Amino acid sequence: MSEPPPKRRFRSPFRKILVANRGEIAVRVLRAARERGITGAVVYSEPDRASLPVLLADEAHLIGPALASESYLRGEAIIDLAERIGADAIHPGYGFLAENASFAQMCVDSGVAFIGPPAGAIAAMGSKLESRRLMQEAGVPVIPGGYSPVTSVEDAASRAEELGFPVMVKASAGGGGKGLRRVSSSAELGSAFRGARSEAAASFGDDTVYLEKYIERPRHVELQVLADRHGQVVSLGERECSIQRRHQKVIEEAPSPVVDPELRRRMGAAAVAAAAAVGYENAGTVEFLLAATGEFFFLEMNTRLQVEHPVTELVTGLDLVRWQIAIAEGRPLPPEITDTEIEPHGHAIEVRIYAENPDMGFAPSPGRIERLRLPQGPGVRNDCGVYEGSEVSIYYDPMMSKLIVHGRDRGHALERLERALAETRFDGVNTALGLYRELICDDDFRQGRMDIGLLERKIEAGELRTPSQSTEERDLPLIIAALEHLERQARSSAVPHRDGRRNHWREAARIEAAGGDRWN
């Protein structure tokens, strides 16, 4: 019998990392790689040829056409590429292949390090029902409810009776608010059960649903954890992510305005227990619902780096992506992280900037970024995936950038955020920047009185509408268009100025003074 060929094994420390993602997160990973002296390679789809990650990477490799299923989701092709180019590790970013257990396993089997948790941990947390059971066994508080699938309307009715209305019907494979139904009375149960099931089947190919007690107006508070490959797990404190729209986070902050050191310790211990229960490694996030009563309940674990990781970085001073790489290389977390209780320094807030139109139900607003001005100055960080002149594609998530501010305390951070938002320009596409500026002046938000429904209630009530414009503000676009029209006419008829830097408006003004309508 011949020996199987020796398996290829990645070098440690890594010398080259392949980023299997796009946009701002690809840029984020490239930066961490470069700071550690590691060559950064990216994959890109055809429409992303001129995207920022491609421009910043040491190597860029075409992986397929626009459609994600033919490019960024081609796990085998990406692993083949990693082997071909001699990459030691793959960083999946978030989304795409980040929480795909079989992809993580394929990486390991191919001798390429997966910068993320083991496949088993991804799979265990991928099923809500399974993870509920595991968490309950590990002593992590879970929302009262079932630990087995609901099989029929009758079954649902008897369980709901036990729990007491209102209840939630949830898809076991769920995420992003799909396959989720709130039920306030037994009359609604039948249709909610059938609706959640068919939605779950359509979205996830798995119609397993279960029942939970409905928590009234909870906050979303999540704990960042780091786990090395030597059994050490630490909590890096919480993020408050209650400002959501359609179950998508919009604004995140650290610390939470309502979490005190004692609650932080308890939630942190629960998060560490949750991660340990599934043999977690690398960076992960344990999400909890925090009820008005102060009780908290396990919601799910995101087995990847999260969009909102920068707020934790700013208040802990830790570079999470750097630690992700170090952990994947097999390095242990040092005592200064494992042996000290991590308390937040100051306060950080992140807003996500999407190409979207708040006046059209937040529909994506793709287009060319005609002008980009990112805010600067003290306490401001931008994790931006685009540049002036780049196109926001219709094919992918329309998030362009994240603005993150850091201040002494929450009030200071809010002052900085307000100032930074006023500096920010993403001209040429629509954004919700105006809405954010209204929201951060809102009394409930300023006082930290929030729950996961706050933003939607305020939008529906029309409370966040931009204050009515002054006559001058309304006239401004008209004046600009008229001046521009005049300038175009002058440009087509005026002789070039001697220094070559003509001021066309002066030119136009001169023509106007000479009494000429030069057009028509």
Partner 1 sequence: MELIVRRRGEEEHIRLERRGSGFLVRVADRSYEVDCTETSASARSLLVGACQHDVSVRHLGDGEYEVDTGTGLERIQVLGRLEHLAETAHGAKATLGAVRVTAYMPGRVIALLAEEGARVQAGDGVLVLEAMKMENEIRADRSGVIKRFLVDVGQPVEGGEPLYEFE
Structure tokens at 38: 């590691």
Stretch that binds partner 1, among 26-34, 177-185, 443-451, 471-479 (CB under 8 A): 471-479
Does position 509 bind partner 1 by CB under 8 A?
Answer: yes
From 67, 292, 394, 482, residue interacting with partner 1 (rule: CB under 8 A): 482
Q: Does 479 bind partner 1 (CB under 8 A)?
A: yes
Task: Among 31, 213, 425, 449, indicate the residue that binds partner 1 (CB under 8 A).
Answer: 425
Note whether 153 binds partner 1 by CB under 8 A.
no
Three-class HEC string of 248-298: EEEEEEECCCCCCHHHHHHHHHHHHHHHHHCCCCEEEEEEEEECCCCCEEE
**Nearest-angstrom CA–CA distance, 334 and 251:** 31
CA distances (Å), 462 to each of 366, 441, 470, in order? 25, 14, 19
What span, in angstroms and rounded, lies between the C-alpha atoms of 84 and 111? Answer: 12
Catalytic residue among 239, 304, 381, 416: 304
**Sheet with strand 347-354: strands edge to edge:** 296-302, 282-290, 219-227, 233-245, 248-254, 347-354, 399-407, 380-384
**First and final C-alpha spacing in the chain:** 91
The span of 68-76, 119-127, 309-317, 512-520 binding partner 1 (CB under 8 A) equals 512-520
Tell me the residue length of the chain. 520
Verify binding: residue 185, partner 1, rule CB under 8 A: no
Which stretch in 1-9, 120-128, 256-264, 429-437 sits in contact with partner 1 by CB under 8 A?
429-437
Among 152, 185, 493, 503, binds partner 1 (CB under 8 A): 503
Residues 372-401 that bind partner 1 (CB under 8 A): 373
434 binds partner 1, rule: CB under 8 A: yes
Q: Is 465 in the site for partner 1 (CB under 8 A)?
A: no
Residue of 359, 391, 444, 456 that binds partner 1 (CB under 8 A): 359
CB-based contact 418:327 (threshold 8 Å)? no
How many H-runs (helices) and E-runs (strands) does the chain carry?
Answer: 18, 22
Q: Which of 9, 246, 485, 497 binds partner 1 (CB under 8 A)?
A: 485
Strand pairing partners for 180?
170
Q: Taking the CB of residue 98, how many other CB atoms lie within 10 A of it?
A: 23
Q: Which stretch binds partner 1 (CB under 8 A): 35-43, 144-152, 334-342, 480-488?
A: 480-488
Q: Distance between CA atoms of 35 and 27, rounded to whole angstroms?
A: 12
Q: Is 345 in the site for partner 1 (CB under 8 A)?
A: no
Stretch that binds partner 1, among 140-148, 269-277, 452-460, 483-491 (CB under 8 A): 483-491
Residue 419 in contact with partner 1, rule: CB under 8 A: no
Q: Contact with partner 1 (CB under 8 A): which of 345, 481, 493, 497?
A: 481
Of the candidate residues 336, 477, 492, 499, the single one contacting partner 1 (CB under 8 A):
477
Question: Site for partner 1 (CB under 8 A): how many residues?
Answer: 40
> What is the C-alpha separation between 427 and 440, in angstroms, rounded?
21
CB-CB contact of 396 with 37 (8 Å)? no
Q: Can you tell me the distance from the alpha carbon of 495 to that of 516, in angstroms, rounded to the nearest whole number?
A: 15
Q: Is 473 in the site for partner 1 (CB under 8 A)?
A: yes
Pick out residues in 29-48 that bind partner 1 (CB under 8 A): none
Active site residue 197: no
- SS3 of residue 51 by DSSP: coil
Residue 109 touching partner 1 (CB under 8 A): no
Which residues are marked as active site?
304
Can you give the binding site for partner 1, defined by CB under 8 A?
359, 370-371, 373, 425, 427-430, 433-434, 466, 469, 471-473, 475-486, 488, 503-506, 509-510, 512-513, 517, 519-520
